[in-house]
Amino acid sequence: MKPPAPPAPTLPRGAGEGAPSQPEKSVLPGSPSPAPRGRGVGGGGPLVPRLEEQGYTAEDIAARRRWIEEKTGAGLTHLGAFTLTGERMRGNIENPIGAAQVPVGVAGPLLVQGEHAQGTFYVPLATTEGALVRSYERGAVAITRAGGATVRLYADENRVAPVFIFDGVAEAAEFVRRLPEWFDAIRAEAESTTRHGRLLRLEPHPLGRDVMVHFVYATGDAHGMNMIVRATDRACEWLVAHTSARRFLIFSGLEGEKRASGSLLAGGKGKKVVAGVRLPARVVKAYLHATPEQMADVWRHTVLGHLQSGTLGYNGHYANGLTALFIACGQDVANVANSAVGVTSFEVVEGGDLYATATLPSLTVATVGGGTGLGTARECLEMLGCVGAGKAPKLAEIATALVLAGDLSMAGAIASGEFVQAHEEYGRNRPAPHPETHRDEETGS
Amino acid sequence: MKPPAPPAPTLPRGAGEGAPSQPEKSVLPGSPSPAPRGRGVGGGGPLVPRLEEQGYTAEDIAARRRWIEEKTGAGLTHLGAFTLTGERMRGNIENPIGAAQVPVGVAGPLLVQGEHAQGTFYVPLATTEGALVRSYERGAVAITRAGGATVRLYADENRVAPVFIFDGVAEAAEFVRRLPEWFDAIRAEAESTTRHGRLLRLEPHPLGRDVMVHFVYATGDAHGMNMIVRATDRACEWLVAHTSARRFLIFSGLEGEKRASGSLLAGGKGKKVVAGVRLPARVVKAYLHATPEQMADVWRHTVLGHLQSGTLGYNGHYANGLTALFIACGQDVANVANSAVGVTSFEVVEGGDLYATATLPSLTVATVGGGTGLGTARECLEMLGCVGAGKAPKLAEIATALVLAGDLSMAGAIASGEFVQAHEEYGRNRPAPHPETHRDEETGS
Amino acid sequence: MKPPAPPAPTLPRGAGEGAPSQPEKSVLPGSPSPAPRGRGVGGGGPLVPRLEEQGYTAEDIAARRRWIEEKTGAGLTHLGAFTLTGERMRGNIENPIGAAQVPVGVAGPLLVQGEHAQGTFYVPLATTEGALVRSYERGAVAITRAGGATVRLYADENRVAPVFIFDGVAEAAEFVRRLPEWFDAIRAEAESTTRHGRLLRLEPHPLGRDVMVHFVYATGDAHGMNMIVRATDRACEWLVAHTSARRFLIFSGLEGEKRASGSLLAGGKGKKVVAGVRLPARVVKAYLHATPEQMADVWRHTVLGHLQSGTLGYNGHYANGLTALFIACGQDVANVANSAVGVTSFEVVEGGDLYATATLPSLTVATVGGGTGLGTARECLEMLGCVGAGKAPKLAEIATALVLAGDLSMAGAIASGEFVQAHEEYGRNRPAPHPETHRDEETGS
Amino acid sequence: MKPPAPPAPTLPRGAGEGAPSQPEKSVLPGSPSPAPRGRGVGGGGPLVPRLEEQGYTAEDIAARRRWIEEKTGAGLTHLGAFTLTGERMRGNIENPIGAAQVPVGVAGPLLVQGEHAQGTFYVPLATTEGALVRSYERGAVAITRAGGATVRLYADENRVAPVFIFDGVAEAAEFVRRLPEWFDAIRAEAESTTRHGRLLRLEPHPLGRDVMVHFVYATGDAHGMNMIVRATDRACEWLVAHTSARRFLIFSGLEGEKRASGSLLAGGKGKKVVAGVRLPARVVKAYLHATPEQMADVWRHTVLGHLQSGTLGYNGHYANGLTALFIACGQDVANVANSAVGVTSFEVVEGGDLYATATLPSLTVATVGGGTGLGTARECLEMLGCVGAGKAPKLAEIATALVLAGDLSMAGAIASGEFVQAHEEYGRNRPAPHPETHRDEETGS
């Protein structure tokens, strides 16, 4: 459930200047303000107390929080008011001091006609961006009133891309040519480390004397990065031992994990999902306040803006909906960096209807592992009927219908010229100024 | 404080089939399970109850939550256990049902030698990705022991890019040529709508008979999208009234808001910030378990992977650190899509030291408005001394030093081959299996 | 041998206003200045005379040239001094008036250790850019003195990517899932139109309700676009007749023909070739006037520039060498747009040597068809031992070694600071000012 | 007139193994087959004879050609049949052996309504790609019959982007902040080396501890790279002497010269030009065999393909037209790599007309210097009325109208389904098989 990011989880031991020799022992539970330790080469301040067993008891978390309060002068009352049990956080966070609270609203009804998700959903969205929930709600209702979004899942896999380094171009080429011979052995090594991951295929990408290889796995309903990194590492060691590869690095940058890469558009990283809906003109007009022709006009002109700015793909604001859904549902939110690369399309079709689609080539969602079992996350997954094994494809289909809703709503607001006016009117219609507008004038937000 | 995303916040009124005619009135407070309404063209399910005044009282939030529980069968206990007051959420969320809890850990000490941020920081990170906090902590300590990260803020602005549509290429060209003449009038119009935003300049980008124009503003310490969208909308109306522009769309897609665009690398969207640190070889060895040459070797080979995959920029995992910081500090998390585009550089310099840098051309952070004032967010900002007006540049400098820490730690883990081994050893050294490893075997995560 | 570009080769017949009803007949051979015809909607001038049989005899070409001389006032003596026979041009040009002359120099010796190209080559380069041949010569000699460039050809294929349009997302998904069933029938249709092309595989890329499909072929030693477009068109008609595809467009833009696309980096369009050479430090110093460390330093810093500018891949100036080689050898020169996307790598390796590589993922070269048989082109191919069937892989290997030479030379000039100085000194050492410098002062070039 | 490519034009002197000590003297004119010299580290073959004064007399060129004939076994009759004088080639080519001949056809009439180009043009295109001239001719006639293409030139500049390297991030930031102070001194240094180039502005792009700076110049009617590289080199030396910049490299890769970079879309490299035409439906039908709606449909679907493949910009086949024009007119053909990045737009407008545009943000054309004065190139420029000073903007406008013609024709062929059929019919209507089709069957082309 970890991305390529997670590095060595230990601080240096006995590393000379600055490194604490026994970090776990030196700070006892209940010792909220340890004497500054670890000042070294450049000084700078003490390490965060490690506490016994890394400190996941309620007392340890409170002690650490008080230590931070003392160090920084901040009062951390809200952070301490969480309902997760501390031990439950182990494996999800280190140096815990509490939990952030992010407001959750619901957008729906969203009618999804997928193969895994079928029915009406009320989608939990965690955000602090005013109007976001209203916007997605509007699009969701439009889709629903038009009969729902058809969604199809094309691919469901994950990958790691180590790089192998050779003496020269000839050795690299030889390696690539012989790679298929070794597939069975590689798979056996890789799968020896996991009960759930299956190695599907290898895709070599030679570049100079380097050969990057996509190790592509099925990972079930988990995000699975930890699992497949471990499996791939084992396989890489086998390859270095048995081939002319001199050495390897477990990540090459090719994998596209948590980054916006052009290669994501071709799929292979996460789930590829497409959602589409045919909206009668009257539904477009009633809910989006525009005509299908105006919607297509917005698409056409804003595609030019995407082309002009060298954007990967085209979409209105996938990142908004995915981020809010991911925070609510305990996903690895940083995966929005790859998941939000995709393409929206609007087209006027026969009969004057609008056919709108959203294509997500690299959606990364999970229903087991990671943060999916934690308190509020699990509840939000329950709202969608997406708890546990077998539910990740369902979550993927809902997510794709969701971003389609968001882009419909946004295009409608642009087409109708209501984007700003709606905010203004919203405020004017109410006896007191809209609080958001008000705050803006006070603070500049 | 809204991105380009937020569209019209109102549902259609009197829109014929399907649209509720009086949504606010029809569901009274305390009426948790309204009869399904609004079934229309395609059926699909009732609207979420609007309740009086949009329903931000504690009772209304609870009523809405119960309505969702009934509709979906989920139990939402944790979601209801929030400490924010409901009214405080107004302007940040609609249809609220509670709050998501995301575990927060701290990474530090992080010594920053900026112009706005100076001193040692303990950075709050909200995530469920195990090992992430440890990783950033490790990099932060390395930076700190080396004397801290030097950080410089180059630019601090935000922009909207409407598109103006003309009869033809000649009219578009005439408009671009005359645009400077109208600058004063445009600025007057734009600034008439805001007390905080200042229009700095206009940058026209003609494409065919369209002309997209970057309206570039100083927005103070707020994110400011709402503010500058309103201001720009006013100016656009003036231009359509006074020039040959036939019409405009308030967004063209050129702005790069919440999207990964190549044009972000040139700056102009948010804050451009650079952090650098010179690490003695012994610090690299002690904390990152690698030599400077190995770090440069990782950079060199993984740059090839970024080039091979058509990635925008190069970095190890900016998205991880920024996402965790943004959730903790009440930022608009979807802005990670643009903020995480950037470039890390490692270089062995005279004396065998490692010079490492992180460049963020499009960092979007705020210390006023948006979610920055909400309970836990405000506390996290307090931990960094970044509450309120005048603090956004400081937060930007800390954020940039943070991602530098993360990329140092990750590269060290790749270089040393400890990326996987560390996880394994971590588990083995403990009497009971590491819970994360354990869970993996159970669930496939 | 035609790229996606070539459209319908006929002018409209009987098309009402403006279109000549009998274009071929109305202008007889020897009739150099026909009365203006075809003035229509907007006027504008007569059509170019078509002449009998499209006018490829020497007399017809001369007549057409005189017609242009008269129309434009230009004297076209040099254009008329060609040695190709007119009939030989048929299929390569329409409305011929003569031939352009481009100076050809030779760069070599270039020692290539490929699988298809083995030995020393003197490479013909057609260019008017002073110093280009010297630059490539210098790199070629450095490679040669270091023992030659090792080159490997990884893939050799070409593709067309039509798009199929469906009623909706569900139909598109069904099509993608069933596509493998139809492969044999599709291949039979496609290959019924050609004796040389073989359909290797289909790669579907669904996007919304569209499905783009790469039809990937082996095309032997020909460029083969004409061949595979015709084959694919036939197969598309079969698919529209037998599946739920409503219609198709023969090009979708996905193919990457004559365009710089990120997807080219993954291969599939043309030949993927890698060249590498290990240069002892003394060779680097003697020929490139730099140390291996300086070469790596140039690579490192200019990679940052490529990342900053959103460049596809990284290289010094592949376009220079490929363009000059393509013009000389009768290649389709516009294919430089895709062929020049690639990645150069420099690395200091054990012993202080420099390992340098060039990777061309999408090189498009041919040795039969197109312009390869025309006078000077055929002679240039003869110089390389690359005439006719079976030689395209050899030409590809030479081309890749060539661009490696060019990038070595350029980096050496940047590293040593000689880029400008060399030009200056070049001039000063000669009794009269260097003509190029001189001309610059006169004309501003 | 040289691109970033051209490095040091001299071979190493006295460089130990392999380097000839007196290259110019050792091979006398008329000595066609010198004894192999210069075998060194890896052997590989003799250098190309340098001859006296670099060997530009007719005799020297012939002698060198004979030397190549002997070395390679090729007969180079056509290459020797050129009409350029050898001395005229000096500064354009080294090691000359003759000239390549590329067939030239004419496409027109093309009616251009620009500010620099006004009237009807017959455009010379040098290519060996059959049907290319017909295709551009068809589009040109359609534009002409619709009243001509409106063209506007927005910017006309060129740039070099050296990189300055500093001790650290703080020094780099200080440099960027103070750069404006030094502008006058920098300009004085730069302009001291040239009579024609004017330094317009500096645009710094800091990245880590590097600062890349666009030096943007007006270069008159010349390509000007040689000129502005020399000027910039002088200014860089001044900066290193007077600021904290430790050193510089004259190219950073940021400049986008002869490369496809996303940053080109924002302009700054060469000329930015836009062409547009409004085509009545009957003209579209008569000449392009499609309806405006079909043209817009092709645009819409193929834009999706461009997005899917990560293409920079969108266009049908700009590279085809530009390459053919550049070869004919003595341009630096490798600049097609940057010039062909651009965006085509088709839109159905009021009254059912088609509004079509082509936008070239980075067009690099010249009418003085480089190869523009050579025999056939000068004649082709004469055909367009574009010889000499003051004519580069005119050539740019014609080039942009030309690529618009090409994209109209191509889209028409795709829309009408005639792309393939036209080729087939073309052949069938003629008594003998079309030679191109015939050749295809023989050779696989």
Could you write out the DSSP letters of every residue in B221-268?
TB--HHHHHHHHHHHHHHHHHHSS--EEES--STT-TTS-BGGGGG--
Give contacts of C306 with chain B, Cβ < 8 Å: 307
- A/C interface, count of CB pairs below 8 Å: 96
From C70, which residue of chain D is nearest by alpha-carbon distance? D383
**Banded pLDDT at A23 (limits 50, 70, 90):** very low
Quick one: pLDDT at residue D43?
57
Please confirm, yes or no, whether A440 is among the known catalytic residues: no
Give contacts of A266 with chain D, Cβ < 8 Å: 308
Chains touching D, CB cut-off 8 Å, 3+ pairs? A, B, C
Q: Which two tokens stand for residue D163?
A: 């990189």
pLDDT tens for each residue of B330-364: 999 999 999 999 999 999 999 999 999 999 999 99
Q: Is the pLDDT of residue B85 over 70?
A: yes
User: Inter-chain contact D418–C8, Cβ cutoff 8 Å?
Assistant: yes
Q: Which residue has the higher pLDDT, D93 or D430?
A: D93
**Report for B113-117, C218-222, D14-18, D226-230: range of highest mean pLDDT:** B113-117
pLDDT tens for each residue of C140-167: 999 999 999 999 999 899 999 999 999 9
Quick one: pLDDT at residue B224?
86
| Among the partner residues B18, B96, B385, nearest to A103 by beta-carbon distance | B96
Nearest-CA distance from B248 to chain C in Å?
27
Q: Which residues contact A74 (CB under 8 A, 6 or more apart)?
A: A68, B379, B382, B383
| Among the partner residues D172, D266, D272, nearest to B266 by beta-carbon distance | D266
Q: Is B103 helix (H, G, I), strand (E, B) or coil?
A: strand
pLDDT tens for each residue of B206-249: 999 999 999 999 988 888 888 999 999 999 999 999 999 999 99
Which residue of A272, A274, A307, A348 is the best one to mutate when testing the D interface, meaning the one whose CB has the most D CBs within 10 A?
Answer: A307
Nearest-CA distance from B261 to chain C in Å?
9
Quick one: pLDDT at residue D268?
85
| Among the partner residues A7, A71, A78, nearest to B379 by beta-carbon distance | A78
Report yes or no: C150 at the A interface, CB cutoff 8 Å.
yes
**Banded pLDDT at C220 (limits 50, 70, 90):** confident
Which residue of B263, B309, B391 is the best one to mutate when testing the A interface, meaning the one whose CB has the most A CBs within 10 A?
Answer: B309
pLDDT tens for each residue of B393-427: 999 999 999 999 999 999 999 999 987 765 444 33
Give contacts of A300 with chain D, Cβ < 8 Å: 300, 347
Quick one: pLDDT at residue A43?
56
pLDDT tens for each residue of B369-391: 999 999 999 999 999 999 999 99
Q: Is the pLDDT of residue D223 over 60?
A: yes
Quick one: pLDDT at residue C235?
98
pLDDT tens for each residue of D230-273: 999 999 999 999 999 999 999 999 999 999 999 999 998 999 99
Quick one: pLDDT at residue D427?
32
Distance CA A385, CA A275 (A): 19
Give contacts of C312 with chain B, Cβ < 8 Å: 310
Query: How high is the mean pLDDT of chain D?
Result: 87
pLDDT tens for each residue of C327-374: 999 999 999 999 999 999 999 999 999 999 999 999 999 999 999 999
Quick one: pLDDT at residue C430?
31
**Banded pLDDT at D421 (limits 50, 70, 90):** low
Nearest-CA distance from A147 to chain C in Å?
13
User: Inter-chain contact D337–C340, Cβ cutoff 8 Å?
Assistant: yes
From A350, which residue of chain C is nearest by alpha-carbon distance? C167
Query: How high is the mean pLDDT of chain A?
Result: 87
pLDDT tens for each residue of C284-336: 999 999 999 999 999 999 999 999 999 999 999 999 999 999 999 999 999 99
Q: Check A379, A423, A434, A440 and give the catalytic one.
A: A423
Report yes or no: D100 at the C interface, CB cutoff 8 Å.
yes
Burial of residue C203 (number of CB atoms within 10 Å: 0-12, 13-18, 19+): middle
pLDDT tens for each residue of B162-211: 999 999 999 999 999 999 999 999 999 999 998 888 999 999 999 999 99
pLDDT tens for each residue of A363-379: 999 999 999 999 999 99
User: Inter-chain contact A355–C278, Cβ cutoff 8 Å?
Assistant: no
Which residues of B are catalytically annotated?
129, 332, 423
Query: How high is the mean pLDDT of chain B?
Result: 87
Identify the weakest region by mean pLDDT among A295-309, C176-190, C220-234, D283-297.
Answer: C220-234
Distance CA A78, CA D419 (A): 67
User: Inter-chain contact A152–C168, Cβ cutoff 8 Å?
Assistant: no
Quick one: pLDDT at residue A421?
63
Read off the pLDDT of each residue in D188-199 and give the average, rounded to a whole number: 93
User: Inter-chain contact D265–A307, Cβ cutoff 8 Å?
Assistant: yes
pLDDT tens for each residue of A411-429: 999 999 987 765 444 333 3
Quick one: pLDDT at residue A436?
30
User: Inter-chain contact B151–D168, Cβ cutoff 8 Å?
Assistant: no
pLDDT tens for each residue of A332-367: 999 999 999 999 999 999 999 999 999 999 999 999
Which residue of C167, C169, C175, C247 is the best one to mutate when testing the A interface, meaning the one whose CB has the most A CBs within 10 A?
Answer: C169
Report yes or no: C339 at the A interface, CB cutoff 8 Å.
no
Report yes or no: C263 at the A interface, CB cutoff 8 Å.
yes
Q: Check A87, A129, A237, A382 and give the catalytic one.
A: A129
User: Inter-chain contact A262–B111, Cβ cutoff 8 Å?
Assistant: no
pLDDT tens for each residue of C235-270: 999 999 999 999 999 999 999 999 999 999 999 899
Please confirm, yes or no, whether D332 is among the known catalytic residues: yes
Which residues of C are catalytically annotated?
129, 332, 423
**Banded pLDDT at D443 (limits 50, 70, 90):** very low
From D204, which residue of chain B is nearest by alpha-carbon distance? B266
Give contacts of B259 with chain C, Cβ < 8 Å: none
User: Inter-chain contact A107–B95, Cβ cutoff 8 Å?
Assistant: yes
Q: Write a three-state SS string for chain A.
A: CCCCCCCCCCCCCCCCCCCCCCHHHHCCCCCCCCCCCCCCCCCCCCCCCCCHHHCCCHHHHHHHHHHHHHHHCCCCCCCCCCCCCHHHHCCCCCCEEEEEEEEEEEEEEEEEECCCCEEEEEEEEECCCCCHHHHHHHHHHHHHHCCCEEEEEEEEEEEECCEEECCCHHHHHHHHHHHHHHHHHHHHHHHCCCCCCEEEEEEEEEECCEEEEEEEEECCCECCHHHHHHHHHHHHHHHHHHCCCCEEECCCCCCCCCCCEHHHHHCCCEEEEEEEEEECHHHHHHHHCCCHHHHHHHHHHHHHHHHHCCECCECCCHHHHHHHHHHHCCCCHHHHHHHCCCEEEEEECHHHCEEEEEEEEEECCCCECCCCCCHHHHHHHHHCCCCCCCCHHHHHHHHHHHHHHHHHHHHHHHHHCHHHHHHHHHHHCCCCCCHHHHHHHHHCC
| Among the partner residues B310, B313, B314, nearest to C312 by beta-carbon distance | B310
- pLDDT over 90, % of chain D: 79
Report yes or no: A181 at the B interface, CB cutoff 8 Å.
no
The angle subtended at Cα B219 by Cα B217 and Cα B220, nearest 5°, is 140
User: Inter-chain contact A77–B379, Cβ cutoff 8 Å?
Assistant: yes
Residues of chain B numbered 281-310 and touching chain C (CB < 8 Å) = 300, 303-304, 306-310
Report yes or no: B386 at the D interface, CB cutoff 8 Å.
no
Q: Is the pLDDT of residue B430 over 60?
A: no
Quick one: pLDDT at residue B419?
73
